[in-house]
Amino acid sequence: MKLDGKVALVTGTSPNIMGGIAEGMAEEGANVVCVDINPAYAEKCAQAVKDLGREAITIACDVTDEAQVIAAVDLAKETFGGVDILVNGATVFNWKGVLDMPVDEWRRQTDVMLTGAFLFTKYAAKQMIDLGRKGNMINIISTAGHQGEPGNIGYGTAKGGLMNFTRSVAMELAKYGIRVNSLTPTATDRTEAFERAKRWGVEWPGPRGGQRSSGWLADPSTGSPLQKLPSPRHYAKAASFLASDEAEMITGTDLRVDAGAVAKYWIWDPSADAAP
């Protein structure tokens, strides 16, 4: 197993992507610290990790609250001896463009994605340095952080910022042997999230709280070069690899698990170019 005996702290553990990454890391042998502002998501994720035979703790925490972040990182140390892997995934979706976005909502959305990742990175890194742990960190981006998406200004801006935050922190922490990378998901098949929500016994409202952008493809898989959408388990495999010693020479990079979305030449329609 790739992560045997490692301790992963994962933020934003809904039954969708981060719950999938937490379970996937547990399948690779990691114990997991499940962090979410929604206590039910943190608790049910921790239970799912235990059901896989690993240890887990639940921390209800607002990632933008410095005192709560310090307490979470401290509790991880008290319980497991320290954090080896940090995965920053907590996110607020808010489908508004620059013309419609109220400044307080802009501040909150960018705060959760940027300040939340900044605080957990700061205190997890300090702990790793104090303990002499050569850990690693993964920031969850989005194809919307690589490309211009109308009507999603806070999200696209924060995700683009988080990608260069990743590179900057990777350079700063390299001398301590701490690796920092990002992982880019894209529009995601919802089947697994609904199945996981049912298994966990929680409600999951769907991506972006059920909101949908106008002007999207009716079936987003038709725009995907691989003609299907990734599921959380695909992100979990990639995250486990990045977090493992197999990736010991990888830092400051972004691993896209996007079915080819960012690489695609914009004028090409993959659905019109099916193999015979």
Residues annotated as part of the active site: 155
- In the complex, what is the shortest distance from the CB of residue 90 to ligand NAD, in angstroms, rounded to a whole number? 4
Can you tell me the distance from the alpha carbon of 190 to that of 11, in angstroms, rounded to the nearest whole number?
20
- What are the strands of the beta sheet with 56-60, ordered from one edge? 56-60, 31-36, 7-11, 85-88, 136-140, 179-184, 254-256
Instruction: Quote the CA–CA distance of 92 and 97 in Å, as a whole number.
Output: 15
**Residue 168 CB neighbour total at 10 angstroms:** 11
Q: Which of 134, 91, 133, 136 is nearest to 116 (CA)?
A: 91
- Which residues are at the interface with ligand NAD (CB under 6 A)? 11-12, 14, 16-18, 36-38, 41, 61-64, 89-92, 112, 140, 142, 185-188, 207
To ligand NAD, the closest distance from the beta carbon of 245 in angstroms equals: 25
> What is the rounded CA–CA span in Å between residue 230 and residue 256?
11
Output 133 or 138, the one with its CB closest to ligand NAD: 138
181 by DSSP, 3-state: which?
strand
CB of 27 to ligand NAD, least distance (A): 18
Name the minimum Å distance from CB 18 to ligand NAD: 5
